[in-house]
Structure formats: C-alpha cells, structure tokens
Amino acid sequence: MPNRHLPEHPSRLVLVGAGHAHVEVLRSFAMQPPPNAELTLVSPHSYATYSGMVPGYLAGQYQLRQAQIDARALAARAGAGFIPDRVVAVDTAAKTLRLDEYPDYAYDLVSFDIGSHPAHRDRLGSHPNTVLVKPIEVAARDVGRALDSAALDQHERSVVVVGAGPGGVEVAFAIAARLRGDAGGSVTVCDRAEVAVRERGERTSAAVARAFDQRDIHFIGQVEVEGVETDGVRLSDGRTLPADLVVWATGAAAPELFATSGLTLDRRGFLSVDHYLQSVDDPSVFGAGDCVTIDSHPHVPKAGVYAVREGPILANNLRTALGAGRRRRFKPQTGFLSLLNTGDGKAILSYRGLALHSRAGWWLKDMIDRQFIEKYSRPELGPPDSSMGEMQPCGGCAAKVGADVLSTVLDKLAIPTAPHVRVGLEQADDAAVFRLPSGEIDETVDSVVTTDLFPPFDADLHLVGRVAAISAASDLFAMGAEGAAALAIVAVPESEAARQASALEALLSGALAELQAMRIPLVGGHTIASESTLIGFSMHGFVAADRVLRKGGAQPGDLLVLSKPLGTGVVLAAGRAGCAASDWVEECHAAMLRSNGPIMRLLVQHGATACTDVTGFGLSGHLSEMARAGGMTAELDLSAIPALPGALELLAHGWRSSFHSGNERTHSTDDARNPLLVDPQTSGGLLAALPPHRLADFEQACAEAGERFWVIGSVAEGSDRPLRVKP
C-alpha cells in the first residue's frame, strides 16, 4: 500500500510571559497574522501590568485596571491560545516547556519575556509584610493590600524601601503620597549607592534628593542591607530600621528557569541573545526584556523602555523564523527620556544630563503611559465587527445538533422499548435509567447511563478536559444519581505521534483531575484520529429507585431554583474574539468548573420534585422540556435570573453564540427582550422544582455547604403554553 502522508501542521510558537515586548508581538500578529503558525501565550496572569503606571496606582492616581493590558483578550485577537500557568523549566533537546500545573507543552519556536527577579532575595527573613517589586502584578496587589491592612492602621506606619533605583524611588514617592492621604507614616529608602538613581546622572539624583526632602522621605546611602527580620531591616552598620512594611526593590536577578536549560547565559544567568533577539546557540529560542542580555550590548540597563522598543523587532524576527520576511537588528538607543512620578501631580524629567521636576513632566508621563496602554486595549464594546469574518461555530454544549433536527430524526426511527428500561429515549430525559434483571443487583437501585461529547470551546485543552468531565457527570446529577464509572471518548487530529500525545495528555489530565475530585473512576474509553478534536464521556451511575429525579414531577406551587448563573455561550463567543474582559472569561470558566454534585445531594435531601441541567438548549429550552414533561406551566421571573459578569452587556451589544439563533427558533419565549433565556450553556447549573415549605431548610443547608442558588420562578397548573415569562 502507498504511504499515507500526515498533513502538514503549522509551527508551534509559544510566547512565555506577557511582558512589554510580547504584548507588541501579539498586537502585530493580530493586525497581520503570521503564516502557518499556531500561537500560544503562557502566562500566570491574564492581565499584564505596565510597570510605568504602578507607582501612579499606588499613589491613588489610577485604578489598577487602568495600568493593565488584558493579555488573554489580546492573545485571542491574535489567534493565540492562552495557558494560565508558569513555565518552570525548558528542555531544549526535547523542545518542551515544563509548566507548574499543566502538562508539558511542546514548541517549535519559543520566546521568553518574563522579566527578572529582585536580587539578594536570600536576605529576606521572617518579616510578615515584605513585598518584592517583581513580578509587578503581585507587587501592585500586595503593596496595596499591606497599606490597607487593619494591622497597619493602628499607628503611624513605617515603610522601608530597599533599593534606590528608578523603580524603588517611584514606589517610595507613591507610598509617601498614599500615607499622607491616610493616617500618616514614614518612608525610608536605603541603598548601597551614595545617592538615589545614580545611573540617571548627578542632576537627576539631586532632583530626587530635593523631592525626598520635601516629602519627608529619609534616604540612607552607602549601606548594605544584611537581612529583613520580624522587627525590621538590619543594616550592615549595625542599625535596625523598624518597619511595618518592607518593599524589596533591589537590582535585577535572572529567572531560575534558564539555569538548567543548557542555553548560553551571561555571567549573571540571563539568557544570552544576539542582535536579532535570538539565542546565541539555539535558533528556536528568542527572548526580550529584562530576562535577556544582548551579547553585543551587555551593559544595556534592565529597563522597560528597552523592552518596549524590542517589541517590533521581536515580532518581525519571529515572523521571519516562521517563514516570512527578513530579519532586523535591534540597536539599543544610547540615551532615553526618563520620567519619575513623584506622586504629587509632578514628575522628574531626565534626559541627557537635564533634570526638571514639574507638573509638565507629570502631564507628559501620564500622556505617554496612557497612550501605551491604549495601543493594546480591547475594542470598545459593541456588536461583532464585520472585519472579524463569519463567527466561528461554538464549542462546548453550544455545538449541539439543533433540537428540531434531533427530534425529526428520532421521530422517524423505530426505536424499540424494553421492560427493564425505566427512562429511555421516549421520555427524553437527561440520562437513561434501567434496572438489571432480578437477582443480579438490589432491585431498589437503578442504573443510570448517559453520554456527552463536544468540541473544544477554548485552545486550553486541559481546561476543556476538566469542563467535559464535569459536564458529562452533570447529566447523572440531574437524575439524582451518583457516578460509578466513566469511559472517555476522545478524537484528536491526525498528526505525528508527539502532537497527538500532547493533545491527548492535556485533555485527559484535565478530565482525570475533575473525575477524581468527583470520585468517579475512569475505567476505559476509546480514542481515534480525526479531522478535529472532540472529547466526551459515557457516564455510569446508580440511584435509589425511589429517589430518581426526573424532568417531569413538578407540582403546582413548587419553586424553580437554578444553581448557576447564565451566559457561558455569549461570554465564550466574545472571549474567542478577544472582546470580552478576562475577568468575565475567568468567571465563566469558574462557573463551568463548579460540579453540580454537591447541590444535587442537597436538592434530593430537601425533596426536589423534578430536575434537569441547563446546557446547549438554554434556560427556556430546558425549562420548557421540564414543564411539558410534567404537564405544567413554568412561570419565570426575569428579574430573578442570574447572569455571569459581562453576559448582559455583551448580549445588549449584539453578541451571540453561534447556536443562539437555533435556540430562538426552537424555544421562543414571549419576551424577546431577554436573549439570556436562549443563550446556550456549557456545563450549566441544575434547574429544579422545590416545594416552597422546604425552601428555608434548603437555603440554610446551601449556606452551610457553600453552595449558591437562585429562585427564578414557580410552577403553575398546565396551560397551552409550557413557559410564561413575567418581566
């Protein structure tokens, strides 16, 4: 037989870190996608904090989000997947990245822009409030929390900033401004240098010294910090500086992950790159920002301004490595404009020996910083842009075949019944229920079987695997059943073995983690090579015969309760386009990752009369099914329906999941003003009918168990309409 050639696959380019250079790479790739490339951004933070605006945030001049770039959304606009994890090691021989929590991640090309660490961290001791200025995302959060903490509000706070470089000086000014607006306190800056910001020249150092004096910031120079203890900062001259908060803003130290990589490093451990920002000994590795040293310019300072200017060069050279264009050299500038925020509406402008402290300096800095952030900001929320092309089909439960198509086909088929099947296709419930022949199992227990399968809703296959397991188990929980076993059904694209193994490991490792948490053993399954990725499970469980929850069974007067907010369909759709805030996407993921098992047990304990789970057909579709099954009418209170953050805003601006219109046609309601009712859900909540006299006890049990629910309506006698909506 002739050899069967595997299809050619795009090169896997992984960007590690969302530093200043990488956000420019993503912006460039969003504007002009590179040829034949599969892009991934790996970062522990969805938002990249711009270091130049952090002092302004600490001083109260900005909200934190004003100083941040939504890296997840920017990656989506560039067609890149986003992996929310940290790389801890790189194996250049195997071309894999070892992640902290996720499985190993393979690459063809990799670029690092992960910044640096503060030096001499080994001197940090047991002080309860010590904050490192890097990573900046953590520092911005922790300094703010420390200043707001009740423990520090009991007296005038003493803050010690270790390090008098530009970063440490700006943080000191910001904290001093913050303390003046609060209960007061003192700020001390110490450094081994004789003056602050020595690298910016004598005039700048003198301007900083004058500003320190005006703000009562004490500077101690020519001193080494030997350690940080519970009672304060211990200096080499024998003194101990009392401190309620210590900010460690020392010089740059190299990231640890390069140490075992086998790559060429400089004498301090930074990745050594050439003037193309490419590793000097591995053409598949690139780097920019503070984590690298350019071998032809080893003395370039570790400053954000260089990372910003490296961005366009890095984007070009990565594009060239992917097969398009010509390489460009990076030539660091010999001098640059420096603007130090003094936290009082002024800034110290420093350039080529000139230093000026003025409001004009702050105006210029504020303008430059805001313009930088604006370049990478999400588009204004509005209807989907026609330039995005036709909306891609949604994954997850929104990838269902339409209910009208499904019912038409099933009606044509002559599907036989069997006496031992208690719930089958004729009832169209969430799972099948059957009793094994007498003598083989306790006749008071029924077996419950269901299956669930969908394509990925996100490039993060580990996340997809987790949600797939939870979604499949939800059908068991909707019947009041406990899981007994799971069989996996996985399709991965035809490719070389390494790519298939990587995808399969990501999917199954995520699924297995959630199955173990739900105490459902994975006992087997089936995998195939296909044109696209799919994952699902055949779930098997058991339920006491007299405690089976059904879609039908609700009684007039019962309350309708919902266990999760709605909106996954629209948030995921906008998230894929890079137009939904990362906060919204992460809240959506968190909701999908919440198992319905715990609240199912509480519903059973408190006498729920009917139940289903809300998935691809939306709330109106599943609620209509429940009402028809019981011969009842569901009366829905629009004002009580919970929505995920951002869902209502996106729907109001015209965003829709690709399955939304199918739900509208099949499950229309008498209130077209609320498209949330037909938004298809992935791993949605349980929808149950509960007797009203059991509500108080159920509410208390949920509070004790940390479970949430919403009462969204009630059940009435049947009418010609299964669903009535009250505004």
- Tell me which residues are annotated as active site: 397
For 272-335, give the DSSP string: EE-TTSBBSS-TTEEE-GGGEEETTBTT----HHHHHHHHHHHHHHHHHHTTSS--------S-
As a whole number of angstroms, the distance between CA 562 and CA 686 comes to 6
As a whole number of angstroms, the distance between CA 88 and CA 239 comes to 38
In sequence order, the 6+-apart residues with CB closer than 8 A to the CB of 15 are 22, 25, 26, 39, 40, 41, 42, 80, 110, 111, 113
As a whole number of angstroms, the distance between CA 575 and CA 577 comes to 5
Tokens of 679: 């938004």
As a whole number of angstroms, the distance between CA 381 and CA 257 comes to 39
As a whole number of angstroms, the distance between CA 18 and CA 118 comes to 18
As a whole number of angstroms, the distance between CA 565 and CA 644 comes to 6
Tokens of 608: 């729920």
Q: CA geometry: angle at 399 spanning 397 and 401, to 5°?
A: 110
As a whole number of angstroms, the distance between CA 667 and CA 659 comes to 12
Tokens of 671: 């209130």
Q: Which residue has the tokens 């059973």?
A: 604
As a whole number of angstroms, the distance between CA 293 and CA 315 comes to 18
Q: 579, 532, 568: which is closest to 391 by C-alpha?
A: 579
As a whole number of angstroms, the distance between CA 30 and CA 77 comes to 5
As a whole number of angstroms, the distance between CA 334 and CA 225 comes to 32
As a whole number of angstroms, the distance between CA 714 and CA 636 comes to 7
Torsion from C-alpha of 629, 592, 662, 636, nearest 10 degrees? 50
As a whole number of angstroms, the distance between CA 674 and CA 620 comes to 11
